[in-house]
Structure 1
């Protein structure tokens, strides 16, 4: 799940996955954190999801992927576009 919360100057993107689908630690990496693994780990929540949020300037094109256990990369079906390099969302 990918959610957006916009203001006049910035957008907060919340990346969330159901905890039942996770087989270990997962982080979201992308253009907002120089593709640094572990910089934005998903934290387990009481609602059955694991999530993290980032805030970027409004209108920014964000590219991202999830990085799971054992170096497994995967994409978010809620992205605006999925390319060979991962998901794309316009913040």
Structure 2
């Protein structure tokens, strides 16, 4: 699940929260994308008591965002819930 909201600075940036179930896929997962120069391990999803794990990134207004998840053993995958969610990142109403 991905949630997009206003950034903390009030400058038009967007805060993107990436969230997955705590155990699917098993092991450590990071979100890798254009916001971190496609470097694995910079944004690990952290477990929460809600049974989910998540991380957040903030991107400047108007910046295109692309990403994939990277799990252990080199397993790359797309967001299972909403493959078109990032089409809304540049939507000023989001």
One fold, TM greater than 0.5? yes
Q: Please, which runs of 5 or more residues in structure 2 have no aligned partner?
A: 90-94
What residue is the counterpart of 1:4 in the other structure? Answer: 4
Instruction: Quote the Cα distance in structure 2 between the aligned partners of 1:4 and 1:79.
Output: 14
The structure with more radius of gyration: 2
What residue is the counterpart of 1:84 in the other structure? Answer: none
Instruction: Quote the Cα distance in structure 1 between the aligned partners of 2:28 and 2:74.
Output: 10
Q: Offset of 1:28 from its aligned partner?
A: 0.1
What residue is the counterpart of 1:78 in the other structure? Answer: 82
Q: Please, which runs of 5 or more residues in structure 1 have no aligned partner?
A: 82-87
**Deviation string, structure 1 residues 53-84 (Cα, Å, up to 9, x no partner):** 00001232200000001000000031326xxx
RMSD: 1.6
Query: If the length of structure 2 is used for normalisation, what is the TM-score?
Result: 0.81
CA contact (8 A) 1:63 1:89 kept: no
CA contact (8 A) 1:10 1:57 kept: yes
Between 19-28 and 33-42, the greater mean CA deviation after superposition: 19-28
What residue is the counterpart of 1:58 in the other structure? Answer: 61
Instruction: Quote the Cα distance in structure 2 between the aligned partners of 1:89 and 1:55.
Output: 16
Instruction: Quote the Cα distance in structure 2 between the aligned partners of 1:90 and 1:35.
Output: 21
